[in-house]
Amino acid sequence: MDFSSFLTSLGTSFVIFVVLMMFFTWLSRKPVNQVVYFPSRILRGLEPWEGGRRSRSPVAWIREAFAASEADIVASAGVDAAVYLIFLSSVLGIFVLSGLLLLPVLLPIAATDHAYKSLAESNSNATFNNLDKLAMGNVHAKSSRLWAFLLANYWVSFVTFYVLWKSYKHVSDLRAATRSSQAVRPEDYAVLVRDIPADLQGQSRKEQVDSYFRALHPDTFYKSMVVTDNKQANKIWEELEGYKKKLARAEVVFAESKTTNNPEGTRPNNKTGFLGLIGEKVDTINYCNEKINELAAKLEIEQKETLKDKQQAAALVFFSSRPAAVSASQTLHAQMVDTWIVTEAPEPRQLIWKNLTKKFYERQIWQYGVYGIVFLTVVFYMIPIAAVSAFTTLQNLRKYLPFLKVIVNQKAVKTILEAYLPQLALIIFLALLPALLLFLSKAEGIPSQGHVIRAASGKYFYFIVFNVFLGVTIGGTLFRSLKIITKQPKKIVNLLADSLPPNATFFVTYVALQFFVGYGLELSRLVPLIIFHLKKKYLCKTEAEVKEAWAPGDFGYATRVPSNMLIMIVVFCYSVISPIIIPFGVVYFGLGWLIARNQALNVYVPSYESYGRMWPHMHSRIVASLIIFQVLMFGYLGLKKFYYAPLMLPLIILSFIFAYICNKRFYQSFSNTPLEMAYKDATKEIPNLDSVYAAYIPPCLKPEKPDDVEHYEDAKANVSRTSSV
């Protein structure tokens, strides 16, 4: 990419961001759009704007985001959102502190050397641009100037150690303060029990679980909830809910049809066949009422049958106090590793019910199978990414698609394609991954949604490392230089060394495209706004449908965190090779932190809460990125024939030691709740344990009336006694 294409990419991306920010300022002031731009505040019963609509200047959201405290973030979007912001600010701090030394020192050192000029004089085919002069590639091999780049690695590493240690301690304290508060949380009084062995005494599952835990925890055991196979009950329940929504919609349509000219109105009707397009035509209101009555009776029968005959080898066990539940979750209950496995219960919203009943060895087999699939996918996904990264250059487009020469050779089109085409190709390929990785993680048998997201994010990290760097950087170079390599294999090392600094320009443009266009769309919420108004005008009739149309959802950590990690590892690995990338990383994470604070305060509503359980995952990936950066620099300094490159080895070892110390000091309090958290500020009065129990009842098995939880439990107990006779 030449310098003019780089400036075109940067300039147009910035203009797009400014336009999108102006759209946000203008559209967010309109009352009709409040539910799109301030849904979180509305759901919490707050006014969309503080100080009135006229106070909404283009920078008002920036002032509000800066002024908000961490307590405000936790109150509006939960601990997970606060921890995500700590992740962004930690990476931002690393790059800011690194850049304070690297930019004023390394840029002049690289710019005043002439390695690229010498290469161009000796090789007429060699090309370089003004940005390449600011990179480490412009320093001659064996030069004493390389000392500065070696010492820069130490500076970046020690800055990272300092920031991460402070952040880990801060997150740990935040998690402890939240978990030890007096708030009653259902998961604090429950444990998850899996792999319940077959009972040889003829007891039902519930009787077996009750007798087992009552014997081991006689003073604190409250009751149990045996997990059942709810597939059929859930199917009926979803169908019932669908007809309830359809009835509410039909009643609104009927009410709207009543006018002065037609006071009786027109009753809506529909066909009973496929998608309402074929079959008998019926009165919608009467038909829905009939189906609701029919399905309600059918669901009641299915609920009884499910509780009686579909009990599985897993259960939720409830205790009368938080310390008792924490102690039980960390106690080895059975001699055999594959029976009576007891862990902390996930939050009710997080439970993946179908995974709870998977057996121990089934989970192990699925886990190794998924790892194998991920490995093969990583390997084979590298091929199309490398091919696309090489194919989407203008030179190859002209070569392989000659009919495009007329268009591509035009100066304006050429500049735009060079600026955006390879970056867009990479973005599209990476956008296809999250759904696949979430599916594979669920297949492992993981019991909670938060754990699935952490697992999928970890797998995505492998793709980033092996595909973005090996696929784009190395694979693209090999693809482009295949003829040279086949004739002169010894040149492969030099080709790879020469390819690293020029690839920094590609990644600088990629980062700029992500934060200007990506964050501009995030802030302006143009896509959700358009979808909401289309649904409201053409599809929504009831208030429930309108609310469903503007429901904001959560942050979407499964895709958001891996995307941030991609930028993080790119900036890390090129921070010394091409320091000019650091300001772009600072802007990306600084702007991301600011916009994420705004979205946490005003937009997103958490779908679950794991109390910062994502942080150890984030921390370990930051350290892994640092180690990859150090290994890359060790190799690149070696390719530069710098004799002191082995001085990088102690730094790599030190990074592993740092990761080990952090893991030993902090991780256990994240994987298991410390007992002192459960005792500290514990509720003096016994909470309403029936409410705690009711929070875990699946929707398809919930009684019609919320107060009928006792009847639900009685039904289960009666079923147990009946089945054991």
534-569 pLDDT, tens digit each: 998 888 888 888 888 888 888 888 888 888 888 898
Question: How confident is the model over 276-287, as a mean pLDDT?
Answer: 83
Task: Provide the whole-model pTM.
Answer: 0.86
Residue 149, both tokens: 């780049």
Torsions phi, psi of 221, nearest 5?
-65, 130
Q: Which of 133-142, 601-610, 623-632 has the lowest mean pLDDT?
A: 133-142
pLDDT of 494: 56
Percent of all residues in the chain with a pLDDT value above 90, rounded to a whole number: 37
pLDDT higher than threshold 50 for residue 126:
no
Q: What is the mean pLDDT of the chain?
A: 82
pLDDT of 682: 54
Relative to beta strand 281-283, strand 269-271 is antiparallel
pLDDT in tens, 435-484: 888 889 999 999 999 999 999 888 888 887 777 666 666 655 555 555 55
pLDDT higher than threshold 50 for residue 81:
yes
C-alpha distances (whole Å) from 12 to each of 17, 161, 427 are 9, 37, 18
pLDDT of 50: 65
- What torsion, rounded to 10 degrees, do the Cα atoms 485, 486, 488, 494 define? 10
For the chain, the farthest-separated pair of C-alpha atoms sits apart, in whole angstroms, at: 95
Question: How confident is the model over 415-431, as a mean pLDDT?
Answer: 59
Q: Which of 81-90, 156-165, 241-250, 516-525 has the lowest mean pLDDT?
A: 516-525
Percent of all residues in the chain with a pLDDT value above 70, rounded to a whole number: 79
pLDDT of 212: 92
pLDDT of 118: 58
pLDDT of 532: 92
pLDDT in tens, 368-412: 999 999 888 877 776 666 655 555 454 554 554 555 555 545 555
Question: How confident is the model over 147-169, as a mean pLDDT?
Answer: 95
pLDDT higher than threshold 60 for residue 135:
yes
More confident residue, 167 or 374: 167
DSSP state of 31: G
Residue 337, both tokens: 């590793």
Torsions phi, psi of 356, nearest 5?
-65, -30
Q: Which of 259-263, 412-416, 702-706 has the lowest mean pLDDT?
A: 412-416
Q: Element (H or E) spanning 214, and its range? A: helix 205-216
pLDDT of 472: 64
CA 665 – CA 168 distance, rounded (Å): 10
More confident residue, 607 or 479: 607
C-alpha distances (whole Å) from 564 to each of 289, 453, 524, 672 are 50, 15, 19, 27
What is the pLDDT confidence band of residue 269, given thresholds at 50, 70 and 90?
confident
pLDDT higher than threshold 60 for residue 724:
no
Give the residues across from 669 on adjacent strands.
none
pLDDT higher than threshold 60 for residue 498:
no
pLDDT of 154: 95
pLDDT of 721: 41
pLDDT higher than threshold 90 for residue 235:
yes
What is the pLDDT confidence band of residue 681, given thresholds at 50, 70 and 90?
low
pLDDT higher than threshold 80 for residue 206:
yes
